[in-house]
Structure 1
Amino acid sequence: MQTLLAEVPSTVLADTLHPLPVPSTLKAVIQQTFHSLPTDACRLAEALAVLDRVTTLGVAGQLAGVDAPEAALEALLAAGLVAWDPSEASTPIRIHHALQRDAIYQAIAPGRRRSLHTAAAALVGAEEAWAHRVAAAATTDAYLTSQLAAEASRQAGNGCIERATTLELWAADLSPSRDAHEDHLLTAATYLCLGRRHARALALADRVEHCAPSPRRNAVLGFLASISGNPGTAERLLTLAVAGATDPDTHALPSTWLGLAYVLRAQGAKTLSVLRPLLDEVPPTSATSQLRGIAAAAAGYIHGPRASLEVIAKARLPEDPRQVPPADSALLHARGAFRVLAGQHADGIRDLMPLVARQRTDRYVSVDAAERYNLGFAYYLTGHWDDALIAAEQALLITDDDEQPWGIAPTHALAAMTHAQRGHWEQAHTHLQACRRSTALFPELTSLFPVLAQAAYAQAQGDYPAMADALAALDETAPGTRTIYSLLGAPLLVQATTASPTLRSSRGLDNAAKAIEVLDDLSQNAPALLSTTHWLHARLATARGHSNQALSHYRQALDTPVTDDDIPLHRALCHHDLACHLLTHHQAHHRLEATQHLQLAVQRLTALRATPHAQRATAGLESLLPTSAAVGGNHDVSDPAAQLTERERSVSHLAARGLTNKEIAHELFVSAKTVEYHLGHVYAKLQLSGRRQLRRVFEPV
């Protein structure tokens, strides 16, 4: 490891797209061992290095041209270079470690290597044969290039973007002319951009930059500039690409990507001006997921998430998300995300969960952090806060791994807001700071999130002046993001504005009324939001001195039936606020009712493990009665998970749901051993003996 760190530049170490090189000292030792072996053993090792997979002794011996492969295998086993499974009749063998394989492969003479690859192509399946045919090519090969391109097109049509890209890059390397080389290179880069394989696409940026100027080159470089946070460059290059397009087919892609560049700047009107002509040309049933998804976001920036859903509805996706074809996964994500933001939480979760599951099981479906953090916001709103934190953790891993910087701020905001509601101040503060730092690349798109996170942090602390101070920065954020995320921002704004006489102003109350109007509009298609809107109407009426009107709204809020779309924090706060209203304005007649609403607030907040809110409600309850037992017993409002790390909480929550260590590892992108390690720490910290006790501690809300 020390040799590796000393010899390899940090940029190479950080490159997850390519394997690490063999350290020189280890390479020398392996090659010395290899060269000291008998001739037949060396030839068998060379064949295994070329095949680079588990294979039978018979196939490896045939490729190596060895008459007695058993004796050669014994020498390789004794040298520790080969692993085998003697329990299998076919004797499957492979080189023991990838670094050993690389060192042996590098020791094979070029001519011998080509001849081995030529022979290997006839011994393996058609899919594996491509790599051997390419490795066996001694010069450019127009015929092989055309075959590779045809296979790449077939693979891309089947959704195998990574494989199609690899084939096109091989075709580029074997092309007999510069024009052909650049054509295949640009096709490979386009596949990656369309398939949202951003890290690998960005790795090709320098090679694309050296291509001759053309609309295709400008389109690819413009797309890469847009996802890298270079909006000026993106707009310039994509505008050139659109202007240089000579037919409808070549015009559509750069136009779509120009729309994406505008969406990443939250510029809805500009986006629709570019995309509307394309939308008019596309049949409603056409699978143009990216185009319609971008147009839906643009409509949402102008008119809100209901407008986004109207754009998506024209694509006529099946209502059952499991029946949506993989090619329309991006549009399914958009539908789920905008349903969440429109208050249709259960439908949004039903769209997003199968999509996330599809990404785990189908390696051809691209993975996007946005799917995780949008699902996380759905969990946040519906009170499934442990699931929200797991979604945030998954999203952060994806943003780090696949160059999706626009997803960092919303993900940290989600984590900060959830931790704050639980009273995990240190973790909330850490994520809040990270959220602020991550807005530089996409300020128009992401500057809203630290504002929301800071306001939620102050809300959880009961610090209404700090809430108002945080929300004063709303005027500096993009109007489009405020519109589309109104379900997250409007309740915070109304609560802060109406909190106390010192915070109220005529202008502030007018802004609160406008915010409620937006939620009233959403509630037309999301009846569960009536609980939230009536609660906010009640607060506004109280602030304006309309006591009876406020009381009516409070009662209507709590009469709204509880459904899967309900926002339990809002309902709990409504109980608390109604109790305060009754004590302030109707004390003589409603003291008992106020006490009952405070008790319900404590019960609901404790169930959510919204510790700081529950503590304040409990204090109010205790001020009314000698003991809260008089109205139904004491409530432990502490959070037993407060002393755990974020990873320990995630592991504990999934274990309490009944997942095995292997299933938890799959969810959190770690090993089963790591899960076992974290569970051991959890048991020790919480003084638990096993999963049965863990389930009681993390009993689902």
Structure 2
Amino acid sequence: MNRQRERAALDGLLGDLRSGRGRALVLRGEAGVGKSALLQHVVEAAADMRVVRAAGVESEMELAFAGLHLLCAPLLDRLEALPGPQRDALGVAFGLRKGDAPDRFLVGLAVLTLLSETAEERALLCVVDDAQWLDQSSAQVLTFVARRLFAEPVGLIFAAREPGEQFRGLADLEVRGLPKQDAHTLLRSVVRFPLDERVRDRILDETNGNPLALLELPRGLSPTQLAGGFGLVEAQAVPTRIEEGFRRRLEALPAETRSLMLVAAAEPTVDPALIWRAAGRLGIPASAAGAAQANGLLEPGTRVRFRHPLVRSAVYSAASPSERRAAHHALAEATDRDRDPDRRAWHLASATSGPDDEVAAELERSAERAQARGGMAAAAAFMQRAAELTGESRSRSERALAAAQANVWAGAFDMAAELLAMAAAGPLDELQQVRVELIRGQIAFASNLGGDAPALLAGAAKRLEPLDADLARQTYLEAWYAALFAGQFAGADALYEVSQAARSAPPPTGRPRPSDLLLDGLSALITEGSAQAAPLLRRSARSFAEDDIPMAERLRWSPVAVVAAARVWDEECWYAIQTREIQSCRESGLLGTLVIWVQSMAVFSAWRGDFAEAASLVAEGEAIAAATGTRHAPTGAVMLAGFRGVEAEAVPMIEAVIADARAANQGVGVQFPQWVAAILYNGLGHYEKALAEAQAAQEAPLHISMWALPDLIEAAHRTGQTVLAADALGRLAEATGIGQTDWGQGIYARSRALLSEGEDAERWYREAVNRLGRTGFRPELGRAHLLYGEWLRHEGRRADARTQLRTAHDIFTAIGMQAFAGRARRELLATGESVRRRTAVTRDQLTPQESQIAGLARAGLSNPEIAAQLFLSPRTVEYHLSKVFAKLDITSRRQLPQALTGNGGKRPMT
């Protein structure tokens, strides 16, 4: 059976590797359809390459990085040559070093570098069979690497029955059953007597061309059973039938052979010494493998390797529970306690039929080690099994709580909820009861950021007050942030109620932490107003921007600190917090968190009129999301589209984001695009629509509603709703008075001028221009010039109006704000000035990623340093720089400063 389509795809991947281009491919199809045979074909065809192989194993799915370690083990002689942070992360993940838990994406970068460096000598092919059984940590790292392959001759081929979510977006190839004629030929090769035509067609139809089913189904059935179709069982699916065929063949083997195969099935390591040590403890002789090899169930050789993964599952499922426990017990005794304590603990757990506090304690220690290595999913699995094996009810409840918390951190919210039920079934002291409530609130917030979380978290915080005052305060801050996100969907008074409860909570037990200042400032803002809150908010925001705060606390609370900085109109502090966290996430490899900060910085850059940098950040965020499988609201892209002002581009995006946020009950997710829509429609001169969107964005009483006030004032003024505009101006006066910054005061002066007359109006317009000119928010400055020019024109001062309108038009055109540029152009025409229609022109042709790499290279970073910052391989950076040089018509890095200055290149983020 030639499998031309599949072989051509695999040969094409090998051709790309030989040309220096990396690629990944997922082979997917049901068990027995021929994926393993295709992998063997590609391995044989890659004789000129280095090949490393691994396979996922169902019983190892809870062991963090097990599959990755198996794949990378032959390459670890290069570990010491990796950059320090990558070397340490991979060493800790594999248990070769001690250290803090590494982020899985830093481990991914280390593996990418390791594979890329190995491929410097000759192309490298990595083959992973049964990828559906990879442990979660390995799957995440390998798919991260697969999405970053580009300019390095590294190939990654996965074979899976049904790939998991991590594999979504990778190129895939479905391996289907054989065509009917080929299937018929294969069936004839194993059934050499004539079959009734109807029986033959039934076999062909029900096996659906599955080669292994066609080979295995006839085994063990007599000619009579086959000829009459009596041996076929209609209700079974193909893989089940294949396993049943294997079981029939197992029954004919000697007992000692079946015992040996069970030991091998229970321990999927490639270490034959371990299997034979365990077999020896069961009294199994070395000759036991012979019968299985002769029967075609084991491959010949010293290793106990199954012919097909379904043989393993057939062996394990055919054994009785007592036989399985005996095999696992022998393996636990044969496993070195010091070298591999976690594997030993897992075998001990599998060998235990009832409660065993000693084994549970071993599992708890394994959970701690797994968490230290960054294997949170493995830690959760160890703790869950520890809880199940704990006899004493109070200890079982405590371990179930710990397992639930670990599952929340691992993102397994359904399992966390089940473990909370287990914990609640036992006796709980008051603190444990509150922790159940707290974890329920964390599940509600982490799973959908919706409206249930604030009340759950606030309730837990209240109950924690007499038990653990510091934990109570942290829980109140979680509840506050959850209420902010849920907005209208948490209830009209949710933020006030949380803030009021937090204000009456006990003070910190020691010196106030930055998070304590943050909680006090934000809760005071809601309950007592801006004047009381301002000093606390400024101090807490400045602390997160500048002070030496432990990284774990910064990662947890910096997003809330950004709200504080924005609320006091502190442009410098907002930028500093974001820059600090982006750098920290890059250095630590925290891509899941980095994507949030990249989006935040994209919003900030767009607001400051740096569309090139905003677009680059949006592209980076999308690349990170694709690499990590992270879902996120595209706030940067929405902001950029709204400020660009192309209605056909922006409106569908805004509507889609609002719909998604409404479905998830995320108030902020609705409010933000509504504010952007108000900006868009004010630029287009659609003031009725702008007013509606700006009013809708007032649903929550915080930073976004505050930002939307100037657009509400402008739209209300243009539509003649003076009372509404005046009321909004009063609220803006209070909102901007809290910070006394040029940003906030300039926005207020511009809005105050719009509702003023005569000399007062001109004085306020001049103040707005002066103040906003000292900030980095060029779009806001442009809008001040535009409104000033429009007012001057209506006052009959055409010459003065032209000066302001021309300045506004130039600012908007340079930035790329097409809607506002069009509005300024129409006003200029109304003054009698002829204006040539212009659009923002980017003189270079660099892609966002090329621009980003070029900027970092201009700043003096080496290729490895750029690669580490952007989570690429050095070879990929080199490839992109060659493209940059060609487009800019230069030949070296020394020419980049002048070339980028002359071609609109962007400076790197600092």
> Does TM-score exceed 0.5, indicating one fold?
yes
1:183-207 Cα offsets, whole Å, 9 max, x none, are: 21212223455x5x5x323442234
CA distance 1:143–1:100, shift in 2 (3 Å): same
Partner of 2:688: 465
Residue 136 of structure 1: how far off its partner (Å): 5.8
Partner of 2:710: 491
**Residue correspondence of structure 1 range 494-643 to structure 2 within 5 A:** 494-498=713-717, 500=718, 503-524=719-740, 526-541=741-756, 546-560=757-771, 562-563=773-774, 565-587=775-797, 591=799, 593-621=800-828, 635-637=838-840
CA distance 1:61–1:146, shift in 2 (3 Å): closer
Structure 1, 349-358 or 301-310: larger mean CA deviation: 301-310
Of residues 333, 346, 349, the one that matches 2:559 is 333
Of residues 510, 517, 525, the one that matches 1:283 is 510
CA distance in 2, matches of 1:576, 1:625: 16
Q: Could you say what secondary structure the match of 1:280 adopts?
A: coil
**Residue correspondence of structure 1 range 42-441 to structure 2 within 5 A:** 50=267, 104=312, 107=315, 110=324, 111-122=326-337, 124=339, 131=346, 134=349, 139-149=354-364, 152=367, 164-177=379-392, 179-191=394-406, 193=408, 197=410, 199-209=411-421, 211-212=424-425, 215=433, 216-227=435-446, 228=448, 231=451, 235=455, 239=459, 247-248=467-468, 252=472, 262-263=483-484, 264=486, 265=490, 267-286=494-513, 289=515, 297-302=522-527, 303=529, 307=533, 310=536, 313=539, 317=543, 319-320=545-546, 324-362=550-588, 367=593, 371-388=597-614, 411-412=633-634, 414-437=636-659, 438-441=661-664
Residue 220 of structure 1: how far off its partner (Å): 2.6
Higher helix share: 1
The normalised TM-score by structure 1 is 0.70
CA distance 1:441–1:115, shift in 2 (3 Å): same
In 2, are the aligned partners of 1:309 and 1:338 still within 8 Å (CA)?
no
Q: Supply the AA of the counterpart residue of 1:462.
A: G
CA distance in 1, matches of 2:815, 2:747: 17
In 1, are the aligned partners of 2:571 and 2:743 still within 8 Å (CA)?
no
1:403-451 Cα offsets, whole Å, 9 max, x none, are: 99xx96xx45553332022134344223211232122443655543343
Partner of 1:654: 852
1:572-623 Cα offsets, whole Å, 9 max, x none, are: 12222223333332526xx1x4333333223322221212222333454466
2:671 equivalent to 1:455: no
In 2, are the aligned partners of 1:47 and 1:60 still within 8 Å (CA)?
yes
CA distance in 2, matches of 1:382, 1:671: 32
Partner of 1:88: none
1:82-130 Cα offsets, whole Å, 9 max, x none, are: 9xxxxxxxxxx9999xx98797577567344553354344473556765
Q: Could you say what secondary structure the match of 1:3 adopts?
A: coil
CA distance in 2, matches of 1:27, 1:117: 30
Q: Supply the AA of the counterpart residue of 2:852.
A: L
CA distance in 2, matches of 1:372, 1:299: 30
Residue 467 of structure 1: how far off its partner (Å): 0.9
For the pair shown, which has the larger CA radius of gyration, 1 or 2? Answer: 2
Identity fraction in percent: 14
**Residue correspondence of structure 1 range 477-488 to structure 2 within 5 A:** 477-478=699-700, 480=701, 483-488=702-707
Q: Supply the AA of the counterpart residue of 1:485.
A: I
CA distance in 1, matches of 2:801, 2:629: 52
CA distance 1:394–1:689, shift in 2 (3 Å): closer
Residue 510 of structure 1: how far off its partner (Å): 1.2
The normalised TM-score by structure 2 is 0.56
In 2, are the aligned partners of 1:352 and 1:375 still within 8 Å (CA)?
yes
Q: Supply the AA of the counterpart residue of 2:420.
A: V
Higher relative contact order (CA 8 A, sep 6+): 2
CA distance in 2, matches of 1:162, 1:296: 36
In 2, are the aligned partners of 1:30 and 1:100 still within 8 Å (CA)?
no
1:209-263 Cα offsets, whole Å, 9 max, x none, are: 3542752434433443455467569747974895599834798377666656655
Q: Could you say what secondary structure the match of 2:585 adopts?
A: helix
CA distance in 1, matches of 2:463, 2:629: 29
Q: Could you say what secondary structure the match of 2:720 adopts?
A: coil
Aligned length: 629
2:30 equivalent to 1:3: yes
CA distance 1:242–1:101, shift in 2 (3 Å): farther
CA distance in 1, matches of 2:654, 2:135: 28
1:113-162 Cα offsets, whole Å, 9 max, x none, are: 55335434447355676556545656543123234435656887999866
Structure 1, 575-584 or 207-216: larger mean CA deviation: 207-216
Structure 1, 351-360 or 113-122: larger mean CA deviation: 113-122
CA distance 1:204–1:236, shift in 2 (3 Å): closer
Structure 1, 652-661 or 426-435: larger mean CA deviation: 652-661
CA distance in 1, matches of 2:628, 2:533: 30
CA distance 1:102–1:691, shift in 2 (3 Å): farther
